[in-house]
């Protein structure tokens, strides 16, 4: 909401400078986002007087003027405007001035004659559309009829233009919270300033000088939907002449963000900005029989609003109609068929109170909003209609020469009643940790327009609660729909007392926090992340909203949760997997020139499960590029599937996953090769994740034309299984014996089978088995491979003898041969 500093001063005499006022407003809850200085766009434009004016020799229309611009000399200025005349008071842009739009005024020579400045039109000053002639100012300057300081505006030749037209001003951009519809006007903000600073609120003049003719003889109002329209007040002004508003009004409207149109409409907007109550002006001749009917729309009824949009209505929309047709979408916008025209002479002014909920529904469902609906939605003052309609009639009479008919047609089927709320001062002080006297509280509430009555309390009650010395019985004002409960009043007291005057409690002695299961999970997640960071991965955080195409491009078989009202197709559903977003991030980084991609994410994924949205954490990573960074020392080799598996093995051990094993069937569609990570054995076995190389067909779809490695784990299962506490094993006291064995086995036989046999038949003295070589080629038959192992033997009780070890080694060799057909490779 834009609020003018000068305008505000018409309602309350405050002493604060614009900066001080902004500070004050912010402190009481009307946050000032910005202060804009009005008039600043006219630096170098002053008020001048045309002393003489003669045709420029050799030109049909240019004139050479002598102008007094208060500079102490006569300025020769060449001007082409047809309406220039000696004696006029005019805006003069001096040499060096800069006009809105960036035009710089300099000295010019035309037909050999020097021109030192420029006499400006409305358009050149950016205050109107008239570019035809210069802006002839009135002498003495007009003052806004509303101005309580009328006639005080200083005026002399050479004065800055904004001072002459009373435009030196500051406009505050105020953030009005949704509960404070009453502050969407100068009157409303002034009321707050008055309550916070002391000086009384003043209302603007409304001396109507009505004629004898009665409004009631020309206008009738019938309300068929009193719940939706508790009040409708109407007045007539006749004999108006439609035309532009005077400069002061146009500039004032413009300064608060309203485009001036023509006097009658400008007045209703002016009153809206002033009082916060929307008004509508009808051309009386276009309202059939002068009869206003407030009714709900028929289903499918059509109506064209002022902005030339056609709407198809339903029974939730409220209409202002005459006996033949609708004339306005109540509280939102007037109709194209009944608005003020250039030749309107009789004006029917409407000022009503509409139910906020209904207006909100219409505004939302018809996708139409206006300054009017914005205020009705937040609740206007039902007791304000009479004053607002009178104020508008008064201004229309001032501006258009119209005559105001006697009386108002005021239909008020559901009169407003004040709320009564009890406020316990002890309760206020207990919540705020303050020591505010009840009398001080009543002072604040009265300043806000509440009625108050202090009642001494009955003898103290037993039981819990605060013993109250007194209760303040509060009645709320008609403009404060937000005051409904005691707590609302507590806030009002706190606000006016000042949040900064409430103490800051000492927090140095705080309770202990209890370590919950959630806390332990959080620490475990920190461990997962820490382990991956150690392995050289960067954590990514992606949007959980993803495009619909993800489930086709990255088939994970999960049923996605879809949004009802997405922002765009790109964010139309919740992710079922972390993969696609990680692949997109990888592509983005590769495109930006990164050669190596190592990204992981820990985040929630979603899926439909039994007709419900289910969610759970997942951990996933994407790797592409080399196994370590290339450098001047060595060229790095490409990352491969064994690096991927090594990474999973290291991760598992870093996060203390016990009994990890791998399954190489049942891998998802999107992996070309890879495996499942399983925990436990037999029936207790749980798959917790997958890893491998992406199908090129899948990674291609994400714009990645290089091998991509991927892993994904289920967060819930990880949290349940990881983080085992390591159990200490005593350090060995006797030396180990090392034997190397090299087997030749069938190519098709997997290494784990051989290792399994070695472990099984190595006996209890076999401590460790480590593969150290894999060889195919010279000396090894085709379809065979050679696998070489370090075998470590150790006893906890003694140093082993050669014969004991030979026995175990012999058993291993024999079993490998018998079970797997493995031959020992000759040395």
Partner 1 sequence: MKTIDMRYFAFLTDRLKGDVKDVSSAGDVEQLRVKYLGRKGLLSKASQNFKLIEEPDDRRFYGRGFSEFKKFATSVIEELQAKYQDEKRIDKVDLTLPGRRDFSGGLHPLTQVLEEIIDIFRGMGFTVETGPEAETVYYNFDALNTPHWHPARDLTDTFYLDIPGDDKLNWLLRTETSPVQIRVMERKRPPIRIIAPGRTYRKDKPDATHSPVFMQVEGLYVDKGVTFADLKGTVVAFYRALFGPETDSRFRPHFFPFTEPSAEVDVSCLFCRGEGCRVCKGSGWLEMGGSGMVDPNVLEGVGIDPEVYSGWAFGLGIERIAMLKYGIEDIRLFYENDIRFLEQFD
Are 244 and 263 contacting, i.e. CB atoms less than 8 angstroms apart?
yes
Cβ proximity to partner 1: between 321 and 722 the closer is 722
Q: How far apart are CA 699 and CA 622, in angstroms?
A: 11
Q: How far is the CB of 159 from partner 1 (least distance, A)?
A: 29
Cβ proximity to partner 1: between 179 and 345 the closer is 179
Query: Which residues, numbered 682-701, are part of the site for partner 1 (CB under 8 A)?
Result: none
Q: How far is the CB of 704 from partner 1 (least distance, A)?
A: 14
> Which region among 222-230, 514-522, 550-558, 703-711 touches partner 1 (by CB under 8 A)?
514-522
Q: How far is the CB of 667 from partner 1 (least distance, A)?
A: 26
Contact flags string 448-477 toward partner 1, x per CB under 8 A: ----------------xx------------
Helices 425-432 + 438-447 axis angle, to 10: 90
- Could you give the angle at the alpha carbon of 84 between the alpha carbons of 82 and 89, nearest 5°? 150
Q: How far is the CB of 83 from partner 1 (least distance, A)?
A: 43
**Residue from the set 272, 490, 651, 713 that interacts with partner 1 by CB under 8 A:** 490
Q: How far is the CB of 275 from partner 1 (least distance, A)?
A: 22
Are 137 and 47 contacting, i.e. CB atoms less than 8 angstroms apart?
yes
Q: How far apart are CA 7 and CA 256, in angstroms?
A: 10
**Residue from the set 13, 16, 18, 27 that interacts with partner 1 by CB under 8 A:** 27
Q: How far is the CB of 563 from partner 1 (least distance, A)?
A: 5
Query: Does residue 432 interact with partner 1 by CB under 8 A?
Result: yes
**Residue from the set 202, 495, 654, 825 that interacts with partner 1 by CB under 8 A:** 495
Q: Which residues contact 510 (CB under 8 A, 6 or more apart)?
A: none
Are 787 and 741 contacting, i.e. CB atoms less than 8 angstroms apart?
no
| Rg, C-alpha atoms of the chain | 42
CA distances from 226 to 230, 413, 540 (A): 5, 6, 58
Q: Which residues pair with 2 in a beta bridge?
A: 173
Cβ proximity to partner 1: between 545 and 813 the closer is 545
> Which region among 209-217, 280-288, 314-322, 353-361 touches partner 1 (by CB under 8 A)?
353-361
> Which region among 80-88, 199-207, 497-505, 790-798 touches partner 1 (by CB under 8 A)?
497-505
Q: How far apart are CA 827 and CA 809, in angstroms?
A: 16
Q: How far is the CB of 466 from partner 1 (least distance, A)?
A: 9
Backbone angles phi, psi at 33, to 5 degrees: -75, -35
> Which region among 177-185, 319-327, 394-402, 407-415 touches partner 1 (by CB under 8 A)?
177-185
The DSSP code for 464 is S
Q: Which residues contact 136 (CB under 8 A, 6 or more apart)?
A: 83, 88, 89, 90
Write out 724-792 in H/E/C secondary structure.
Answer: CCCCCCCCCCCCCEEEEEEEEEECCCCHHHHHHHHHHHCCCCEEEEEEEEEECCCCCCCCEEEEEEEEE
**Residue from the set 259, 415, 456, 612 that interacts with partner 1 by CB under 8 A:** 612
Q: How far is the CB of 646 from partner 1 (least distance, A)?
A: 14
- Could you give the angle at the alpha carbon of 791 between the alpha carbons of 649 and 757, nearest 5°? 75
Query: Which residues, numbered 710-739, are part of the site for partner 1 (CB under 8 A)?
Result: none
Q: How far apart are CA 118 and CA 76, in angstroms?
A: 10
Query: Which residues, numbered 527-556, are part of the site for partner 1 (CB under 8 A)?
Result: 529, 532-545
Write out 298-321 in H/E/C secondary structure.
Answer: CCCCEEEECCCCEEECCCCCEEEE
Are 227 and 341 contacting, i.e. CB atoms less than 8 angstroms apart?
no
CA distances from 388 to 46, 221, 594 (A): 37, 18, 66
Are 331 and 374 contacting, i.e. CB atoms less than 8 angstroms apart?
no
Taking alpha carbons only, the member of 404, 409, 73, 128 closest to residue 243 is 128
Q: How far is the CB of 720 from partner 1 (least distance, A)?
A: 16
Query: Does residue 668 interact with partner 1 by CB under 8 A?
Result: no
Contact flags string 560-599 toward partner 1, x per CB under 8 A: -xxxxxxx---x--x----------x--xx--xxx-xxxx
Residue 714, H or E segment: strand 709-714
Q: Which residues contact 799 (CB under 8 A, 6 or more apart)?
A: 734, 735
**Residue from the set 103, 499, 664, 734 that interacts with partner 1 by CB under 8 A:** 499
Q: How far is the CB of 632 from partner 1 (least distance, A)?
A: 7
DSSP strand E in 129-182: where? 169-175
What number of chain residues touch partner 1 (CB under 8 A)? 95
Contact flags string 106-125 toward partner 1, x per CB under 8 A: --------------------
Cβ proximity to partner 1: between 111 and 588 the closer is 588
Query: Which residues, numbered 212-241, are part of the site for partner 1 (CB under 8 A)?
Result: none
> Which region among 101-109, 297-305, 490-498, 717-725 touches partner 1 (by CB under 8 A)?
490-498
CA distances from 625 to 166, 586, 636 (A): 70, 11, 9
Cβ proximity to partner 1: between 535 and 788 the closer is 535
Cβ proximity to partner 1: between 260 and 356 the closer is 356
Taking alpha carbons only, the member of 271, 279, 263, 252 closest to residue 204 is 271
Q: What is the dihedral angle through the alpha carbons of 551, 557, 558, 562, rounded to the nearest 10 degrees?
A: 30
**Region for residue 70 given its phi and psi (left: phi exceeds 0; alpha: psi -120 to 50; beta: otherwise):** left
Query: Which residues, numbered 287-316, are part of the site for partner 1 (CB under 8 A)?
Result: none
Cβ proximity to partner 1: between 497 and 825 the closer is 497
Query: Which residues, numbered 389-428, are part of the site for partner 1 (CB under 8 A)?
Result: none
Query: Does residue 364 interact with partner 1 by CB under 8 A?
Result: yes
Query: Does residue 60 interact with partner 1 by CB under 8 A?
Result: no
> Which region among 3-11, 146-154, 493-501, 685-693 touches partner 1 (by CB under 8 A)?
493-501
**Residue from the set 2, 13, 24, 26 that interacts with partner 1 by CB under 8 A:** 26
> Which region among 308-316, 472-480, 509-517, 788-796 touches partner 1 (by CB under 8 A)?
509-517
Query: Which residues, numbered 617-636, are part of the site for partner 1 (CB under 8 A)?
Result: 628-629, 631-634
**Residue from the set 102, 300, 511, 779 that interacts with partner 1 by CB under 8 A:** 511
Cβ proximity to partner 1: between 66 and 521 the closer is 521
Cβ proximity to partner 1: between 68 and 596 the closer is 596
Q: How far apart are CA 68 and CA 157, in angstroms?
A: 7
Cβ proximity to partner 1: between 196 and 229 the closer is 196
Are 133 and 83 contacting, i.e. CB atoms less than 8 angstroms apart?
yes
Taking alpha carbons only, the member of 683, 744, 528, 716 closest to residue 617 is 716
Q: How far is the CB of 529 from partner 1 (least distance, A)?
A: 6
Query: Does residue 132 interact with partner 1 by CB under 8 A?
Result: no
């Amino acid at each position: 909401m834009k609020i003018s500093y000068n305008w505000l001063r018409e309602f309350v005499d405050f002493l604060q400078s614009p900066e001080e006022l902004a500070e004050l407003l912010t402190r009481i809850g009307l946050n000032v986002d910005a202060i804009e200085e009005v008039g600043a766009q006219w630096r170098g434009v002053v008020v001048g007087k045309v002393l003489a004016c003669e045709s420029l020799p050799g030109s049909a229309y240019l004139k050479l003027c002598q102008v007094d611009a208060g500079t102490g000399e006569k300025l020769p200025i060449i001007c082409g405007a047809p309406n220039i005349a000696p004696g006029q008071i005019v805006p003069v842009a001096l040499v060096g001035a800069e006009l809105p739009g960036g035009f710089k005024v300099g000295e010019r020579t035309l037909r050999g004659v020097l021109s030192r400045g420029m006499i400006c039109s409305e358009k050149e000053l950016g205050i109107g559309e008239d570019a035809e002639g210069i802006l002839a100012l009135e002498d003495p300057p007009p003052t806004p009829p509303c101005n309580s300081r009328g006639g005080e505006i200083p005026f002399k030749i050479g004065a800055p233009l904004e001072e002459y037209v009373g435009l030196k001003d500051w406009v505050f951009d105020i953030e009005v919270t949704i509960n404070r519809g009453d502050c969407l006007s100068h009157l409303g903000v002034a009321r707050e300033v008055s309550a916070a600073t002391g000086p009384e609120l003043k209302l603007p003049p409304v001396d109507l000088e009505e004629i004898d003719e009665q409004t009631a003889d020309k206008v009738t109002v019938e309300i068929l939907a009193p719940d939706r329209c508790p009040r409708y007040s109407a007045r007539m002004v006749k004999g108006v002449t439609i035309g532009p508003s005077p400069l002061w009004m146009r500039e004032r409207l413009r300064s608060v963000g309203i485009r001036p149109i023509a006097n009658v409409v400008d007045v209703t907007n002016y009153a809206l900005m002033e009082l916060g109550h929307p008004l509508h002006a009808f051309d009386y001749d276009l309202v059939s029989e002068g009869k206003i009917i407030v009714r709900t729309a028929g289903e499918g009824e059509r109506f064209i609003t002022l902005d030339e949009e056609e709407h198809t209505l339903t029974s939730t929309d409220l209409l202002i109609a005459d006996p033949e047709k609708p004339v306005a979408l109540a509280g939102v916008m007037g109709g194209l068929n009944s608005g003020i025209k250039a030749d309107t002479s009789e004006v029917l002014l409407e000022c009503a109170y509409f139910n906020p909920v209904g207006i909100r529904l219409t505004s939302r469902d018809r996708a139409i909003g206006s300054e009017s609906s914005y205020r009705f939605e937040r609740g206007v003052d039902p007791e304000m209609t009479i004053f607002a309609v009178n104020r508008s009639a008064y201004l229309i009479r001032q501006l258009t020469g119209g005559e105001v008919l006697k009386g108002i047609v005021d239909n008020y089927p559901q009169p407003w009643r004040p709320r009564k709320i009890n406020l316990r001062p002890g309760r206020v002080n207990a919540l705020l940790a303050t020591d505010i006297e009840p009398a001080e509280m009543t002072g604040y509430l009265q300043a806000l327009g509440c009625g108050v009555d202090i009642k001494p309390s009955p003898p103290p009650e037993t039981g819990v609660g605060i013993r109250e010395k007194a209760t303040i019985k509060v009645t709320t004002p008609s403009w404060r729909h937000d005051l409904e409960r005691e707590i609302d009043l507590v806030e009002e007291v706190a606000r006016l007392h000042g949040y900064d005057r409430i103490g800051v409690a000492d927090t140095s002695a705080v309770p202990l926090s209890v370590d919950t299961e959630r806390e332990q999970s959080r620490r475990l997640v920190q461990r997962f992340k820490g382990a991956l960071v150690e392995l050289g991965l960067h954590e990514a955080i992606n949007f959980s909203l993803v495009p619909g195409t993800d489930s086709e491009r990255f088939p994970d078989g999960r049923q996605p949760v879809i949004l009802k009202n997405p922002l765009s197709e790109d964010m139309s559903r919740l992710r079922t997997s972390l993969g696609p977003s990680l692949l997109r991030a990888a592509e983005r980084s590769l495109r930006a020139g990164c050669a190596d991609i190592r990204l992981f994410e820990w985040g929630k994924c979603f899926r439909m499960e039994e007709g419900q949205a289910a969610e759970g954490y997942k951990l996933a990573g994407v790797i592409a590029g080399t196994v370590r960074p290339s450098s001047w020392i060595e060229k790095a080799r490409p990352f491969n599937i064994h690096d991927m598996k090594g990474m999973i093995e290291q991760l598992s051990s870093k996060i203390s996953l016990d009994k990890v094993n791998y399954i190489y069937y049942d891998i998802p569609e999107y992996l070309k090769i890879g495996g499942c990570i399983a925990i436990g054995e037999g029936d207790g076995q749980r798959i917790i994740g997958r890893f491998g190389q992406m199908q090129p067909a899948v990674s291609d779809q994400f714009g990645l034309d290089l091998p991509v490695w991927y892993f994904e784990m289920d967060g819930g299962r990880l949290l349940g299984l990881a983080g085992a506490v390591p159990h200490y094993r005593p350090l060995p006291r006797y030396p180990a014996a090392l034997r190397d064995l090299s087997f030749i086995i069938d190519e098709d036989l997997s290494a784990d089978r051989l290792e399994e046999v070695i472990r099984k038949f190595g006996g209890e003295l076999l401590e460790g088995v480590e593969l150290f070589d894999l060889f195919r080629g010279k000396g090894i038959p085709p379809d065979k491979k050679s696998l070489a192992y370090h075998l470590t033997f150790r006893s906890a009780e003694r140093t082993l003898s050669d014969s004991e070890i030979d026995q175990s080694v012999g058993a291993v060799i024999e079993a490998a041969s018998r079970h797997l057909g493995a031959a020992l490779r000759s040395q």
